[in-house]
Structure 1
């Protein structure tokens, strides 16, 4: 189709797509330029029109961001804030709080401008330099009270050679993009730079990789082929792809040396960033993030908890359901890697299953608090910054891990006891709470009670569903992974059976001193002996602990249950304490074949039904 024809169709389709309400309102217009990108600055101007002339305009920078749950106070990175009227005259500008500005005397139009500093390329902040700009929109664009339902227009003044990658809707004008309202705008990460594109059709939708990287085209081609398999396997779980709002889904990917490792889900795209290259192990690690984030296109973007809908930009957002939104996605991100062929059964067991089982069974927090409680802690742990020490090593397990471990347990139990599986559960949640959409948002966001009800329907056993939620979701009963994994021909065992250990509390050499690097864990030998963060182990059995090799050699002479004398320095005091060694608690999941036994035909069939590809 000729470019001019495409442009005309886009121009006509935009008001139709966004509805009559959007047409009736003047858009909020943003203009971004990058004259000092080499020093991580962008210039931003926001034009607000058709305002009540007598009413002050309240302008804000967001304090939180979709997919993040803590406060990030994005206003800290803007300066040289100005406001002018339609004729360019300076307007009175008050600054009532750290993230807000009040503009008066504007006569109905305000041009609000500022300099944005951004030097962190990830899914939360803005990363700007001479090579690219990776923009998380809440960290980039200001917004105003009362205009949240207005459409937005974003104009990028691009340096030579840069292109735009975004889920925003392009217009007939080059460099100009639109959003139907503030919620969609804030959910639309944008990458600017010399994009390398790979695009394909899947079930009538356009899937595209927009990549900034320093590798070869052959590496990107191979990576795109692996991504296609992930997309197919994810679609197979739900019976098809979502109806992406503008017919396309974009992986907005920055794999550059200056990027921080991150993945952030969005409605019709995902932001994935990492310094790892698209080669060998780097490609596999990056693909794992792609797998996780793409699954979010269903789970949390369209299947969305009621307590996160709508998302608030002015405060922290707390949910009781991140064990499902993030934790079940964690499980499926790993499972899709296996089903797509990126991982073997042995790799999946050794890395992904071992990680979930270890975390669930060895973390003190999982024995004390529920997945619901862990979800509610997100505002304090989700990239939140604090300088005071905490006791999370004994009270917390990430909702990614506690949710993922419960997803694994539930999937195996459904397969063994109820002749169904977690895929069926996810499809039913999708049909009831994900597929119905309205105004670029879920029409029926779910509650905990909804998930329990759907589990009862999937298992055809409401009593089981009630018990599972009481014990494992609102309670903290640990799954029996040994019994659950056995039908798949997998064994849970001690990774270092018989090896003596001081526990899993973090020990590290700091300035040639063996130091407890964090709070000791409940039940660990060091915890029982009364040691804690910052304490130093000076001698074991009267021998100085000079380096890691000497420490391991001395410890290796003992067996679990031995009582050793440890000289310690604790907050300035030196004393010698008796410490009872325990067996190394690290667990691993291995295929039965690795133990010298052979799985039965029934075990192999169960394993295949669970882990083999589902896409046709």
Structure 2
């Protein structure tokens, strides 16, 4: 964490302050920042927030809104939703406010106390922003609470002025005597999402820890009970990998869940909680989708929250945060999130193949970017792709594959390699990393964040083969060699095959234009039929073999009458005018993973044993 003393010009400046403002650095570090969050106009998505900064040293107080948020890596400029800013001193006198930059306010002329008040607008309920309305408030703290430079190590106390019927769900420590919620410093405060509303709470004990599922939803109590039972299974399956649960700060982990219709689908990890938002209900397919987010985010309470890359520690709220290791922090978590659903008995083998393995294998082997750039390089793109806003076109369909998928696919490959060739497992690797870099914590942060070199070194120790660890990182992590999934999955009796074998395809996304029976081309993939023929984004296909595209189904019908290798005449309009191209159809490249049983292939006892040890596996 940042040293407070270093934030001031010198010790001499403190000694020369007026006697009424003199205090030690230790006292300054303990003076709490006090927040009050009220909702006098919630129906119009506003909160009124007051922050009291006490024992402020002489000179302007630099109040700021965060520009970025933990778990997100792009800039989000939260100050844009702040207005009606006022500041007073301890006697209620108005203080001068200046705007040194777009992100904050400098307050001068104070008497050692600054009461800073503002209105916050928020109408997006997810893990990044603030969502406020008449029935709830879902608050990501960097989007909600202002802070002051130089006071990052001070504890914080937050008071929520709640409308009737609302309760609080948060990882902040409650102080019933004061009616406030406590954070030890700014890093913890900003990492503590909070949901306010008519909470439905389910609580249980797991390995001496309190686990809470605090939910806003429109469904029944029975649906929430069933969902809680499934969540308990996920918690147990995750703990088995690492040999136990983390030591949660304040002894509690909270699933802060908002499943109301007005929410946006998201999940965001935090030290002792996760923010879960979705408009999908807790029944049927919606419950299964939501459980996937639960599993992914809960795995983060080890991987990335405590087992954390050095280049993200501490998190910087004033800039975009880049890491070389999101392929591991997010990608390996993506792999395990789906695997946990199988190990918890929520997925069958067939569902696991369909919902998890097929997506990883298909993305890795068919996305042009995966063969072009490494997982490390994909991780470095996060500030540009992780909910980042830009209006100019890009070529990411040919240059990028999400670190979730490229990391998850490499986790799958590494797990299978370790099991087949090194008599160990990815579970063992994760546990070794946890013991070396995750278990030890200090000041609510990892005592020893890891580097890429650390990840490679521990892989060599677990596999007992440093040459293998070096080659795996060179080929698959800092390099971009594609795994041979057909060979790796075969010992488990799983087959990689074309999902639509023999079907002709343009390998392109076309948007139908009903007004003139045409279709607009999206970005074309390198090597695809339209790319090879010279078509590009925003070109408009007017006819195929002389046939107008009178409906979205027309193209499907045309392709159904042809086979891969057939050549079609495509009339199209491009920026250079009207053109006709000869387009050679390709076989649909979509891949899927299926059990040998579904493919009518024989399954040996060895395959069944391998599959069971992997998919039912316990950490060794």
CA contact (8 A) 1:340 1:613 kept: no
CA 1:433–1:199 in 2, change beyond 3 Å: closer, same or farther?
same
- Which residue does the alignment assign to 1:348? 352
- Which residue does the alignment assign to 1:7? none
Give structure 1 stretches of 5+ with no counterpart: 1-19
Q: In 2, Cα distance between the equivalents of 1:246 and 1:213?
A: 27
- Which residue does the alignment assign to 2:37? 32
Q: In 1, Cα distance between the equivalents of 2:294 and 2:26?
A: 35
- Which residue does the alignment assign to 1:116? 120
- Post-superposition Cα deviations, 1:81-110, rounded to whole Å, max 9, x if no partner, equal 111100111101000111111111101000
Q: In 1, Cα distance between the equivalents of 2:184 and 2:408?
A: 34
CA contact (8 A) 1:164 1:175 kept: no
CA contact (8 A) 1:31 1:154 kept: yes
- Which residue does the alignment assign to 1:190? 194
Q: 2:102 aligns with which of 82, 98, 101?
A: 98
Q: In 2, Cα distance between the equivalents of 1:140 and 1:384?
A: 19
- Post-superposition Cα deviations, 1:508-540, rounded to whole Å, max 9, x if no partner, equal 213454434431000001001111111111111
Q: In 1, Cα distance between the equivalents of 2:576 and 2:282?
A: 49
- Which residue does the alignment assign to 1:374? 378
Q: 1:430 aligns with which of 418, 434, 442?
A: 434
Q: CA deviation at 1:197?
A: 0.3
CA 1:231–1:256 in 2, change beyond 3 Å: closer, same or farther?
same
Q: In 1, Cα distance between the equivalents of 2:324 and 2:184?
A: 29
CA contact (8 A) 1:245 1:440 kept: yes
The SS at the match of 2:390 is coil
The SS at the match of 2:267 is strand
Q: In 2, Cα distance between the equivalents of 1:355 and 1:41?
A: 40
The SS at the match of 2:579 is strand
CA 1:569–1:592 in 2, change beyond 3 Å: closer, same or farther?
same
1:286 and 2:290 equivalent?
yes
- Which residue does the alignment assign to 1:229? 233
CA contact (8 A) 2:514 2:550 kept: no
Give structure 2 stretches of 5+ with no counterpart: 1-24
- Which residue does the alignment assign to 2:18? none
1:243 and 2:247 equivalent?
yes
Q: In 2, Cα distance between the equivalents of 1:360 and 1:382?
A: 19
CA 1:615–1:215 in 2, change beyond 3 Å: closer, same or farther?
farther
- Post-superposition Cα deviations, 1:406-440, rounded to whole Å, max 9, x if no partner, equal 00000001000001010000000000000010100
Q: 2:446 aligns with which of 442, 449, 472?
A: 442
After TM superposition, the structure 1 = structure 2 runs for residues 412-431 of structure 1, keeping only pairs within 5 Å, are 412-431=416-435
CA 1:325–1:181 in 2, change beyond 3 Å: closer, same or farther?
same
CA contact (8 A) 1:433 1:443 kept: yes
Q: 1:81 aligns with which of 82, 85, 90?
A: 85
Q: 2:313 aligns with which of 302, 309, 316?
A: 309
1:128 and 2:124 equivalent?
no
The SS at the match of 2:225 is helix
CA contact (8 A) 1:22 1:151 kept: no
Q: In 2, Cα distance between the equivalents of 1:292 and 1:499?
A: 35
- Which residue does the alignment assign to 1:320? 324
Q: CA deviation at 1:550?
A: 2.0
Q: CA deviation at 1:557?
A: 1.8
CA contact (8 A) 1:507 1:514 kept: no
The SS at the match of 2:457 is helix
- Which residue does the alignment assign to 1:329? 333
The SS at the match of 1:310 is coil
Q: CA deviation at 1:546?
A: 1.3
- Post-superposition Cα deviations, 1:130-159, rounded to whole Å, max 9, x if no partner, equal 100000000000000110000000011111
1:571 and 2:575 equivalent?
yes
Q: CA deviation at 1:559?
A: 1.3
CA 1:457–1:514 in 2, change beyond 3 Å: closer, same or farther?
farther
Give the TM-score taking structure 1 as reference length: 0.95
- Which residue does the alignment assign to 2:513? 510
Q: CA deviation at 1:572?
A: 6.4
CA contact (8 A) 1:233 1:615 kept: no
CA 1:318–1:37 in 2, change beyond 3 Å: closer, same or farther?
same
Q: In 2, Cα distance between the equivalents of 1:72 and 1:412?
A: 39
Q: 1:65 aligns with which of 64, 69, 72?
A: 69
CA contact (8 A) 2:427 2:619 kept: no
After TM superposition, the structure 1 = structure 2 runs for residues 129-528 of structure 1, keeping only pairs within 5 Å, are 129-173=133-177, 175-503=179-507, 505-511=508-514, 513-528=517-532
CA 1:459–1:536 in 2, change beyond 3 Å: closer, same or farther?
same
Q: In 1, Cα distance between the equivalents of 2:334 and 2:27?
A: 37
Q: CA deviation at 1:548?
A: 2.5
Q: In 1, Cα distance between the equivalents of 2:520 and 2:308?
A: 41
Please report the RMSD computed on the Cα atoms of aligned residues, expressed in angstroms: 1.4
Q: In 2, Cα distance between the equivalents of 1:276 and 1:22?
A: 48
CA contact (8 A) 1:158 1:175 kept: no
- Post-superposition Cα deviations, 1:474-506, rounded to whole Å, max 9, x if no partner, equal 000000000000000000001111111111x21
Q: In 1, Cα distance between the equivalents of 2:437 and 2:618?
A: 23
Give the TM-score taking structure 2 as reference length: 0.94
Q: CA deviation at 1:274?
A: 0.3
- Post-superposition Cα deviations, 1:160-210, rounded to whole Å, max 9, x if no partner, equal 111000000000336410100000000000000110000000000000100
CA contact (8 A) 1:515 1:534 kept: no
Q: In 2, Cα distance between the equivalents of 1:222 and 1:457?
A: 42
Q: In 1, Cα distance between the equivalents of 2:277 and 2:426?
A: 30
Q: In 1, Cα distance between the equivalents of 2:378 and 2:367?
A: 13
Q: CA deviation at 1:36?
A: 0.5
The SS at the match of 2:377 is helix
Q: In 2, Cα distance between the equivalents of 1:142 and 1:23?
A: 18
